[in-house]
Structure 1
Amino acid sequence: MTVPVQLKGLRRKFGATTALDGLDLDIAPGELVALLGPSGCGKTTALRIIAGFETADSGELTMDGQDVTHVPAHRRDIGMVFQSYSLFPNMTAAQNVGYGLRVRKSSTAERAARAGELLELVGLPGREDHYPHQLSGGQQQRVALARALAVRPRVLLLDEPLSALDAKVRLSLREEIRRIQLELGITTVFVTHDQEEALSMADRVAVMQGGRLEQCAAPAELYERPATPFVAEFVGTMNRLPGTVRDGGVVELFGRRLPIHGAEPGTEGRTVDVLLRPEGLAIRTDAGAEGMSATVRVATFLGATTRLHLTTETGVQLKADVPSWEADGLTPGARCTVTPHEKPVLVAEG
């Protein structure tokens, strides 16, 4: 059974430090939500409160509409996977997976059957009798995931489960976790500091700062339409380019007038920073092209795209992404013109 989870006005302080400052978040049944943000933003505290390992100073936590704010961790029907695997070294993979069932007094046959079923689900058939030291880090984390799922929890919590693994294993395992989550349809909350993990795995990403929720949205919306300057600059790469507010809710940048997204434009003539992704800039090399003149400082080949580091004739430094097949001639020292694409932009105080 999949259940909704609601965090309502959660507050938590540790001495003089405010970890959560009125956090509100609704998680739909069967949804995978990633909590993303810088160190100290409160994402791990929020996860630990959902798990029952921490208690909020105020606010309410509900699961399936029932208030569980003060319900002990062992009665919340939660499965949790930690960064450090936390497997019992003296138990086999099957025994680790079946541990929660043993605590619940399930029969030996039931534990063995459930362990075999889940080890196959996580891609470890035939490893039932292996001990943790006989498994790789990625395999150990798969066992930890199977153990968390063994008791058929209503909610699955993942606390940076991939950060201790190397890049190739991390990529493979995040795809497996997403596959399993979708197959089981289990409500899942995933804490990570890795933007790529969050954007590639989650139905929605909740970006946090200072114990508050800045924005919770689908990955594409978060990237394309960030709600605040913090989200815009925290997720992906962002240029801050000087622009001038003009009448009609537009900002002038490199000779082009662009509509302002999500904010009052302010006073005519006011200088602001225009927040623009590298792919939001068009690069031209033909003589007479309109735009701001610039010089290529560095060109970095990234496969399908090439990232250009440019300096404009006014001394502004910026990054622009162009298709690699269009990058011929855009080598260090080359001259070009830069023009923003005509689409709404976010602005911040200059």
Structure 2
Amino acid sequence: MPGGAAATVEFRGVRREFGSAVALDGLDLTVRPGELLALLGPSGCGKTTALRMLAGFEHPDSGEVLVDGEDVTRVPAHRRDAGMVFQSYSLFPHLSALDNVAFGLRMRKVRTAQRHARAAELLDLVGLGDKGGRFPHQLSGGQQQRVALARALALRPRVLLLDEPLSALDAKVRLTLREEIRRLQRELGITTLFVTHDQEEALSMADRVAVMRAGRLEQCAAPVELYGRPATAFVAEFVGTMSRIPGRLSSGAVEVLGQRLPVDGTAPGSTEVDVLVRPEAVRVAADDQGDARVVATAFLGATVRLTVRLADATEVKADLPAHEAAALGAGATVAVTLPERPVLVAARAR
């Protein structure tokens, strides 16, 4: 598996069990050349198992893993052309930043001058050109993660694997590194599989996001499609904030909040359903005769998130521009409506 060009990665019917637990249940997924694809889902959904499967640290019970059409399912990890960045950095404490980055090249018997030049070039690329002589304990968490990223890139892998690399960092550093990783990935054009449990991280960084649940793929789509047109109720509620409002199906439409709206996608078989709506789609207006009441507000900068309690005690989140929400403090009586467009419905929550 020679290094260099971006690769196509495929999981075909991959299944992996650990005792009675099914980590991957027939995973079918393709990562396109040069794209950054995020694996997103709750703990135990199988996203890290899929990443380790591609790295060669796990092997499937059935199914295949392919890189550019080549079956690498049983190829040992050290023979796969993949670079991996771990959550815990995993830097060698007794080696300088330069030597950490050069370590893989050293194992491949690259000459000292050549590997040091390559390591220095990569440290420059991640903004640490002046930190090559420092040891891991002399670097901040964010700097250590940059060194780990440079080390993963040193062998010019066709595939870059990132296992929740930012979760141990504070919010400001995480945001900076998020932008840096995305810039580098685009600049190098390297196929990247990125595991995260952070929805904002996935939506802001990835070309496509694959949402997983119980070892299965729920939906794989561009962030705007995933957020705006979720394929299932699970995706709708896992990605972003979503409220459930009781409704009733009738003649192909749903009756909700005194309105009759078309249904987006397939409707469940039951008549009693929940309508799933994003906070920015909920319209709230002051109304002395309204049967809903604002019970809480949260200032989010340009917007304010209202929590509104409907007559049946259902609570709905609504995002309004700050200037519109100024007159709608806790206790305000309001009317709640939805835009005249198709809505996603799901079986009524019990």
* Same fold (TM > 0.5): yes
Q: 2:268 touches 2:347 (CA, 8 Å); kept in 1? A: no
Runs of 5+ consecutive residues of structure 1 not aligned to the other structure: none
* 38, 47, 59: which one aligns with 2:51: 47
**More deviation, 94-103/306-315:** 306-315
SS in 1 for 2:173: helix
1:251 counterpart residue number: 254
1:283 counterpart residue number: 284
Alignment of 1:24-43 (within 5 A): 24-43=28-47
Alignment of 1:208-287 (within 5 A): 208-247=212-251, 249-264=252-267, 266=269, 270-285=271-286
2:333 counterpart residue number: 335
Q: Deviations over 1:87-129 (max 9, x none)?
A: 0011000100000000000011111110111001001111111
Spell out structure 1 runs of 4+ moving beyond 4 A.
none
Alignment of 1:292-311 (within 5 A): 293-311=291-309
Shift in Å at residue 8 of structure 1?
0.5
Shift in Å at residue 300 of structure 1?
1.0
Q: Structure 1 counterpart of 2:263, which letter?
A: I
2:205 counterpart residue number: 201
Alignment of 1:73-152 (within 5 A): 73-152=77-156
1:22 aligns with 2:26: yes
1:163 aligns with 2:161: no
Give the Cα separation in 1 of the matches to 2:249 and 2:45: 32
Identity %: 66
SS in 1 for 2:34: coil
Shift in Å at residue 279 of structure 1?
1.1
Q: TM-score, normalised by structure 1?
A: 0.96
Q: Structure 2 counterpart of 1:277, which letter?
A: R
1:10 counterpart residue number: 14
1:175 counterpart residue number: 179
Q: 1:245 touches 1:265 (CA, 8 Å); kept in 2? A: no
**More deviation, 249-258/133-142:** 249-258
Give the Cα separation in 1 of the matches to 2:328 and 2:92: 56
Shift in Å at residue 312 of structure 1?
1.4
Q: 1:245 touches 1:266 (CA, 8 Å); kept in 2? A: no
Runs of 5+ consecutive residues of structure 2 not aligned to the other structure: none
Give the Cα separation in 2 of the matches to 1:173 and 1:55: 31
Q: Deviations over 1:231-282 (max 9, x none)?
A: 00111111011001121x2111111111111104646xx1101111111111
Give the Cα separation in 2 of the matches to 1:162 and 1:266: 42
Give the Cα separation in 2 of the matches to 1:313 and 1:83: 46
Q: 2:262 touches 2:342 (CA, 8 Å); kept in 1? A: yes
Shift in Å at residue 62 of structure 1?
0.5
Give the Cα separation in 2 of the matches to 1:163 and 1:316: 34
**More deviation, 277-286/332-341:** 277-286
1:319 counterpart residue number: 317
Q: 2:242 touches 2:277 (CA, 8 Å); kept in 1? A: yes
Q: Deviations over 1:155-208 (max 9, x none)?
A: 000000001111110000010000000000000000011111111100001000
Q: In the comparison of the two structures, how many residue pairs are matched?
A: 344
SS in 2 for 1:98: helix
Give the Cα separation in 2 of the matches to 1:107 and 1:150: 14
Alignment of 1:51-70 (within 5 A): 51-70=55-74
Q: 2:267 touches 2:346 (CA, 8 Å); kept in 1? A: no
Shift in Å at residue 322 of structure 1?
0.7
1:192 counterpart residue number: 196
SS in 1 for 2:291: strand
Give the Cα separation in 2 of the matches to 1:328 and 1:132: 49
Shift in Å at residue 286 of structure 1?
5.0
Q: 1:55 touches 1:70 (CA, 8 Å); kept in 2? A: yes
Give the Cα separation in 1 of the matches to 2:311 and 2:199: 33
